[in-house]
Structure 1
Amino acid sequence: MKIPKRIASAVINSLKGGVVPRTGLPYITVGRETEIDALLHDVDIIADGGAAFRFISGKYGSGKSFLLQTIRSHVMDRNFVVVDADLSPERRLQGTKGQGLATYKELIRNMSTKTRPDGGALTLILDRWISGVQSETAAETGMSPDSPEFGKAVEKKIYEVINALSEMVHGFDFARLLTIYYHASADGNDEEKAKVVKWFRGEYVNKTEAKSELGVNIVISDDDWYEYIKLFAMFLKMAGYNGLLVLIDELVNIYKIPNSITRQYNYEKILTMYNDTLQGKAKYIGIIMGGTPQCIEDTRRGVYSYEALRSRLAEGRFGREGVRDMLAPVIHLIPLTYEEMLVLTEKLADIHAQLFDYEQKITQEDMIRFIQLEFSRIGSDSHITPREVIRDFIELLDIVFQNPQINISEFIASDSMAHVKPSVGQDDQTDEEFAEFEI
C-alpha cells in the first residue's frame, strides 16, 4: 500500500489528535461495510430524485464521524455535492440569535465536490453551471459563442432552470440571484458575482444591505435557511450534479441546551426535515445526523423527548441484539471486532513506516498482544472505543520509532503498559477470545 506523504501525515496526525482526517480515509477504512452499503443505497435513491434521512448513533469515539467522512468521500466520487457542519452552542438548527443561520453558513462554507474536496466550492459550482449551459447551448444550436444570438440562446436555457426553481418556497428570489450572477459573469463583473456569492453564503446582515447592494429585498434567516438548502439541492441537479448530501454531527449540543422550549424548537426543525424527505417534499437531498445514544434516545432531553420524533424513530418490537435493521432511520454503530482492529493496526503501522521512512519492526504478534492488552482493561467491554485504541497504538509506534533500541514485545508487556494490563480473572478469557490469532 503506497500512500503520499502529505496524506500519510494528515492521517497519522489527525488520528493521534483524536479527530477524523478529511483525506486518506480509504487507506484506513476497516469494517462498517454493512452501514456503508445501507447509506449508499440511500444515495442511489437520492440520485433518482428521492430523498433520505438517517441518524447515526454511537458513543464518543465509536466511529460516527469516521463513518460520516467515509460516506462523504464515497458520494463525492459519485458526483454529489456535500455540505457538512458540527453543531455547537453557537450553531443549532433553530435559534433566536442567529444560531440556525450560523449552521447554514458553516454548511455552505464547507460545500465540497470531488474537484474541491476541502470546501469552498460554491463559486466553482456556479461557474461550472454557467459554463455547462453555454456548452449545452452551443452543442444544441450549433452557434459560435461569438454569435450575437448565442447570448440570447444561453439566457433562454438559464430561464428554464430558473422557472423550475421559482415554483419552490423562496425559489423566485433564489432564481433572481442566479440571474444576477449569470449577467455579472457574462459582463465580466467579478464584484457583482462576489456580492451574489456573499448572499448565498448568508452573510448579509439585513434586507437593507442586500437591497442596496443587489436590489433584492430578502436575506437568508434563522427561520428559513433550510428552505434554501432544498433549493440548492434542486439547483445542483440542474447544474449537472447527482444531488446534495447534508452531514450534521454533534447532535449532543442540542441535547445540552438548558432551555426545554429551545430544545423542542430544534427537534421540531429535525421533524420538518425528516417529514420533507420521507413525504417527497424534498428532492435530490440526503440528510445524515450523528449523535450519541443518549442524545437521541433520552426521553427527557434527547430527540426522543419530542414525541412526534420518538414515535417515528423508535425501534419496533422485532429489533434485538445481533439482528439489525439497516433500513431503519437510526443506524446504531456496534464496536469493531478484534479482527477488524487488528487489520486497522496493520494499516496504521504500514502508513507510519512510510511516513517516517523506516523498516517496520512491529510484528503481527506484537499487534495482537497490544490489542489483547487494550481490550483487557477493566470496563473495556463498555467503555473502550476505536479512538482510544488508535491513539494508543500511534503513540506506541512513535515511541518505538524514536527509540529503536526498544524490544517491542517486552515493551508492550512491561510496566510502561501497566495501565492496560488485564485484571484478575480476565487473562484466560482474553487469551481464549484471541486464540484464533495465534500464529
Structure 2
Amino acid sequence: MNTPDPERMAKSRLESINIINALRRGTVPAGGLERIAVGLDVEEGVIAKQLEYVEQGGGDLKFIRGEYGSGKTFLVARALEIARTRGFVTSHVVIAPSTPLHKLKGIYQQVCANLRTSGEEHAMKTIVDNWLFGIEERLLSVSGNGTEDAVLETATEREIETALSGISEMNSALAATLRTYYRANNTGDFTLAQAALGWISAEPNIGRELKQKAGIRGDIDDTIAFTFLRGLVSIIHAAGYRGLAIAIDEMETTQGLQRNQREKAYQTLVRIIDALDRGDMPRCYFLFTGTPALFEGSRGIRSLPPLYDRINVVQSDAFKNPRQPQIILSKFDTAKLELVALKVVDVYARAYTEPDRERISHRFIRAMIRKITTRFGGRVDIIPRIFLKEFVDILDKCELYENYNPHDTYDFDTEHIKGELKKEEEAVMVVTF
C-alpha cells in the first residue's frame, strides 16, 4: 500500500495556503497557478513548446492581447511559472512612467532587479556565484585539486574573459566588472563585490571606487543595455539554467507618451524581434502584454508599420491560433468563474479543512456571482479579483463558525472595497442610492 509522502504533503499544504493568502489580498498567487487555471490549456501548451525551442538554443517571443479582465496578468504569471519549472530564470517587468518602454536602461535594470529562479527571488547574486563556481570546478577537474589559490584565481579570470568574449568585443566593461566582483569576494571585500553587482544591474549611484578598481568608465545606458542583456543571458545559461524568460507587462501605457518616445519604444520592439529572428539572442524568451488598443489604436503598434507587419495576426474565423505572434484572450465569463471557484474550494480543503459543500454549493456560487456582477454593470470579466476575495472570506467564515450560512447572510456591499477598486472596476460599478 502506498503511503503519502509527508514532505510532499507539507509542501502542497504550504502552496495551498500561499494561494489562499494571495486571493485574500486580491493578488495573483506566486505559485501553484495550474491548480486554479481554467480555459488556458491550448495557450499554455503553445508557450511550453516555445520554451522547449528556446532551451535548445533558440530565441522566441509572444504578445498576449486582451481587455482588462481577460486574464493577461494570470497567463503571464502562469507562463513564467512554467518557465521556472523547466529550469529557466524569469523576470517580470511592468511598464510604467518610471520604467517606460523607450528607456532600455530602465527595462534592463528592472529585468536584473526581478530575476527569479524556482527557489529564489532577487537571484542575481546566486546566478553569478553559481557561474563563477562552475568555472572554478571545471578548472579544478582539469588540473587536479592541488591547484594553488593564486593560480586558480588567474585561470578563473581568464575564463571570465573567454566566456564573455563575444560581448567584450562590443563592450569590455561587463567582463571587467565581473573580474572585480570575483576578486572582491576572494579578498572578503563584500562592499566592493556588492557595488560590482549593482553596477552590472544598472543600479544608480554606484561609487567611484568600483569604477577605478574595475578600470571602467561611465554607467550602463540605453546604447549598451541590450548588449549587457545578451551577456546576462550567457551567464545565466553557463550557470546551469535553461535560459531567461522575460515578461514585459502593461505596454499599453506607451500610448500616452509623446510621439517621438512612442516611436522609439516601438522601434525597441522591432529591434528585439529582429535580434531573436537573427539568432542574436539565444535562450531568451519574451512575453509582451497589451490591450487591443495597443495593437490597433492610432497611437499603438499600428502607427509603426514595420512592427505591425511583424506581429499582426491572420484572423478569419472564430478559431484563434495562439501559435501566431499574438495570443488573443477572450473575456472571462460566468462558466469560467464558476470553475475557478470550485478549484479554489479544493485548494482551500488542502490548506485548511474540507469546506461544507452544502453551505458552499454550486447553487450558492452562481448566486454570489450574480450578486456581484449586478453591482458591476453585468460585467463578469471585471469581477474575478473581487469575487475571489469575497469568496475566500466566505470559506473562512464557514470554517470558523458552524452556524454561519452564506445562503442566508451574504449580501455584496461595495462600501468596504471602494478604496481599493482599480480604475476599470470603478468605471463600471453601479451606484445605488
- Fold conserved (TM > 0.5)? yes
**1:114/1:406 Cα in 2 relative to 1: closer, same or farther (>3 Å)?**
closer
The question of whether the paired residues in 2 share the 8 Å contact of 1:165 and 1:234 is answered with: no
1:75 partnered with 2:89: no
**Residue aligned with 2:388, SS:** helix
1:332 partnered with 2:352: no
**1:417/1:120 Cα in 2 relative to 1: closer, same or farther (>3 Å)?**
closer
**Match in the other structure for 1:163:** 165
**Match in the other structure for 1:138:** 140
**Match in the other structure for 2:49:** 41
One of 61, 69, 74 as aligned partner of 1:61: 69
The question of whether the paired residues in 2 share the 8 Å contact of 1:51 and 1:283 is answered with: yes
The residue type equivalent to 2:118 in the other structure is K
The question of whether the paired residues in 2 share the 8 Å contact of 1:63 and 1:387 is answered with: no
One of 299, 302, 322 as aligned partner of 2:300: 302
The question of whether the paired residues in 2 share the 8 Å contact of 1:61 and 1:388 is answered with: no
One of 296, 311, 314 as aligned partner of 1:313: 311
Deviations 1:89-125 (A, max 9, x none): 1111224xxxx43333222111111221xx2111111
- 1:417 is displaced (CA, Å) by 5.3
Alignment partners' CA distance in 1, 2:95 and 2:153: 44
Q: How does 1:111-150 map to 2 (within 5 A)?
A: 111-116=115-120, 119-146=121-148, 149-150=151-152
The residue type equivalent to 2:241 in the other structure is Y
**1:304/1:401 Cα in 2 relative to 1: closer, same or farther (>3 Å)?**
farther
**Residue aligned with 1:192, SS:** helix
**1:303/1:249 Cα in 2 relative to 1: closer, same or farther (>3 Å)?**
same
Deviations 1:148-204 (A, max 9, x none): 65445444433431324324x33x221222222223333333233112101112124
The residue type equivalent to 2:160 in the other structure is I
Report percent identity of matched pairs: 23
Alignment partners' CA distance in 2, 1:382 and 1:260: 35
Alignment partners' CA distance in 1, 2:226 and 2:125: 20
1:366 partnered with 2:364: yes
The question of whether the paired residues in 1 share the 8 Å contact of 2:91 and 2:246 is answered with: yes
Alignment partners' CA distance in 2, 1:53 and 1:31: 21
- 1:208 is displaced (CA, Å) by 6.2
**Match in the other structure for 1:347:** 343
Deviations 1:196-237 (A, max 9, x none): 101112124489676345320131113432332122112222
**Match in the other structure for 1:220:** 220
The question of whether the paired residues in 2 share the 8 Å contact of 1:101 and 1:225 is answered with: yes
The residue type equivalent to 1:268 in the other structure is Q
Q: CA RMSD in A?
A: 3.1
Structure 1 unaligned regions, length at least 5: 420-439
The question of whether the paired residues in 2 share the 8 Å contact of 1:84 and 1:246 is answered with: yes
The question of whether the paired residues in 1 share the 8 Å contact of 2:195 and 2:206 is answered with: no
**Match in the other structure for 1:424:** none
**Match in the other structure for 1:322:** 318
**1:87/1:209 Cα in 2 relative to 1: closer, same or farther (>3 Å)?**
farther
The question of whether the paired residues in 2 share the 8 Å contact of 1:144 and 1:150 is answered with: no
- 1:296 is displaced (CA, Å) by 2.6
**1:411/1:130 Cα in 2 relative to 1: closer, same or farther (>3 Å)?**
same
1:18 partnered with 2:22: no
With structure 1 as the length reference, what TM-score do the two structures score? 0.81
**1:82/1:383 Cα in 2 relative to 1: closer, same or farther (>3 Å)?**
closer
The residue type equivalent to 2:89 in the other structure is V
Deviations 1:296-320 (A, max 9, x none): 321x11122222211222222xx23
1:109 partnered with 2:113: yes
1:88 partnered with 2:96: yes
- 1:261 is displaced (CA, Å) by 1.9
1:275 partnered with 2:283: no
Alignment partners' CA distance in 2, 1:174 and 1:79: 24
Aligned residues: 404
The residue type equivalent to 1:326 in the other structure is P
**Residue aligned with 1:82, SS:** strand
**1:92/1:328 Cα in 2 relative to 1: closer, same or farther (>3 Å)?**
same
The question of whether the paired residues in 2 share the 8 Å contact of 1:80 and 1:242 is answered with: yes
The question of whether the paired residues in 2 share the 8 Å contact of 1:53 and 1:278 is answered with: no
The question of whether the paired residues in 1 share the 8 Å contact of 2:101 and 2:251 is answered with: no
**Residue aligned with 2:164, SS:** helix
**1:340/1:102 Cα in 2 relative to 1: closer, same or farther (>3 Å)?**
same
